[in-house]
Amino acid sequence: MKLVLLATTLLPTTLAFAPTANGIVARRTSSTAVNIGREGNVDLGGNSWKPDSEKMGSTDTGDYFPEGYDPNAVAFTEGMGGSSGMGSGERGPALPGMENLGADALMMGGIEENTEIPAGMEFVMSSVPDGEIAMDVASNSKGAELLLSVKPVCMGFEDYYAAFTSDSHPSFSVSPVAGRMDRRGGEPTELVVKCNPQGRAGEFVGNLVVNLPEDNSKICYRVTATSF
């Protein structure tokens, strides 16, 4: 469908004065209209030129092999281990001075566990113990041992220190006296409680306290040993 544009241009008007019979001058006004855009003298075909960005076509590179390509030149496993070479039978490129790391290298640092109770630490029994333990021991024996499994109660790893209170019977002892307790839900800490009556008979009572100074808490057990 062709669109015909019609433009109307008003040319300057022409004024004319003509006398009349009664002596009144009459003014005549004339105007000329020019119509532009008739189909006969206007090219409505338009311009068919378009930029390259609007032309349809593919910009992808075609899938083809370069000239002289050899599919067997590189094994399909090449590069699967990444830049470190993992999976190639080696641990990757050795850094200068670290060729024998793990064989004869000296490792420094790391987390050190305390093996002794700090000087001045006090072990005070709580009013209500967290657990009670009963054991039997022969008075003329070398003593009896009991394995106590302590569940971790802290959110993180904590150093612990274990000992009997000063008012406990002297026949009681515990080991290890210091170590690192796992976080809550982890492996329990195993303590060995020993009672050596040294020939004495009777009922002995001891209060075992496990201090967790970093958590500002403690775990207490009341141990009762019957020596016969």
How much is the mean pLDDT over the chain?
A: 74
Task: Give all strands (DSSP E) within 72-216, no chain letters.
Answer: 131-137, 144-150, 158-164, 172-175, 178-181, 189-195, 202-212
pLDDT band at 115, cuts 50/70/90? confident
Condensed to tens digits (0 to 9), the pLDDT of residues 119-160 reads 888 899 998 999 998 999 888 888 889 999 999 888 888 889
Helix (H) or strand (E) segment spanning residue 34? strand 33-36
pTM confidence score: 0.50
| DSSP-based three-state secondary structure for 54 | helix
Examine the pLDDT at 176 and tell me if it is beyond 80.
yes
Compare 180 and 15 and report the one with higher pLDDT. Answer: 180
The CA distance from 110 to 104, in Å, is 18
In the predicted model, is pLDDT for residue 204 greater than 80?
yes
